[in-house]
Amino acid sequence: MNITIIGAGAVGLATTVTLAAAGHKVRLVDPAPASGATHHAGGMLAPAAEVVYQQDPLFPLMQAAGQWYPELLDLIAHHTQLPTGHRTDGTLVLAADRADAEHLRNVQDYQAAHGMTVERISTREARTMEPALTPRLAGAVSIPGDHQVFPRQLAAAMLDAARNLGVDIVREQAHSVAGFLKENGGDADRVVLANGLGAAQMSDEFSSALQLRPVYGDILRCAEPEPQQPLVRRVVRGFVEGRPIYIIPRSDGTIAVGATSREDGRQQPRAGEIYGLLRDGIRIVPGIEECDLVEASVGARPGTPDDLPYLGYAGEKIIVSTGYFRHGILLSSLAARVTRELIEGTPVSVDVSACAPERFAGRS
Per-residue pLDDT reduced to its tens digit, 84-98:
999 999 999 999 999
Give domain limits for the chain: 2-82+150-212+304-355, 91-144+214-302
pLDDT category of residue 184 using cuts at 50, 70 and 90: low
Decide if 127 contacts 272 (C-beta within 8 A).
no
The CA-based angle 339-315-176, given to 5 degrees, is 90
Q: What percent of the chain has pLDDT over 70?
A: 97
Q: Which of 41-55, 129-143, 296-310 has the lowest mean pLDDT?
A: 41-55
pLDDT category of residue 310 using cuts at 50, 70 and 90: very high
Q: What is the pLDDT of residue 340?
A: 98
Mean per-residue pLDDT of the chain: 94
pLDDT category of residue 227 using cuts at 50, 70 and 90: confident
pLDDT tens per residue, range 11-21: 999 999 999 99
- Whether residue 295 is predicted with pLDDT greater than 80 in this model: the reply is yes
pLDDT category of residue 255 using cuts at 50, 70 and 90: very high
**Backbone angles phi and psi of 64, in degrees to 5:** -65, -40
Please state the rounded mean pLDDT for residues 53-68: 92
pLDDT category of residue 292 using cuts at 50, 70 and 90: very high
CATH 3.30.450.20 fits 91-144+214-302, yes or no: no
- Whether residue 362 is predicted with pLDDT greater than 70 in this model: the reply is no
SS3 readout for the chain: CEEEEECCCHHHHHHHHHHHHCCCEEEEECCCCCCCHHHHCCCEECCCCCCCCCCHHHHHHHHHHHHHHHHHHHHHHHHCCCCCCCECCCEEEEECCHHHHHHHHHHHHHHHHCCCCCEEECHHHHHHHCCCCCCCCCEEEEECCCEECCHHHHHHHHHHHHHHCCCEEECCCCCCHHHHHHHCCCCCCEEEECCHHHHHHCCCHHHHHCCCEEEEEEEEEEECCHHHCCCCCCEEEEEECCEEEEEEECCCCEEEEECCCECCCCCCCCHHHHHHHHHHHHHHCHHHHHCEEEEEEEEEEEECCCCCCEEEECCCCEEEEECCHHHHHHHHHHHHHHHHHHHHCCCCCCCCHHHCCCCCCCCC
- Whether residue 298 is predicted with pLDDT greater than 70 in this model: the reply is yes
Q: How crowded is the C-beta side of 293, counted as CA atoms within 13 Å?
A: 13
Q: Which of 178-187, 202-211, 213-222, 352-361 has the lowest mean pLDDT?
A: 178-187
Please state the rounded mean pLDDT for residues 160-173: 96
25 or 364: which leads in pLDDT: 25
Please state the rounded mean pLDDT for residues 186-215: 89
CATH code given to domain 2-82+150-212+304-355: 3.50.50.60
Using alpha carbons only, how large is the chain's radius of gyration in Å? 20
Q: What is the pLDDT of residue 205?
A: 79
7 or 179: which leads in pLDDT: 7
Q: What is the pLDDT of residue 221?
A: 98
Say if pTM beats, i.e. exceeds, 0.85.
yes
What b/e sequence results for 115-140 when a residue is b if at least 16 CB atoms lie within 10 Å of its CB, and e otherwise? Answer: ebebeeeebeebbebbebbbeebbbb
- Whether residue 174 is predicted with pLDDT greater than 90 in this model: the reply is no
pLDDT category of residue 363 using cuts at 50, 70 and 90: low
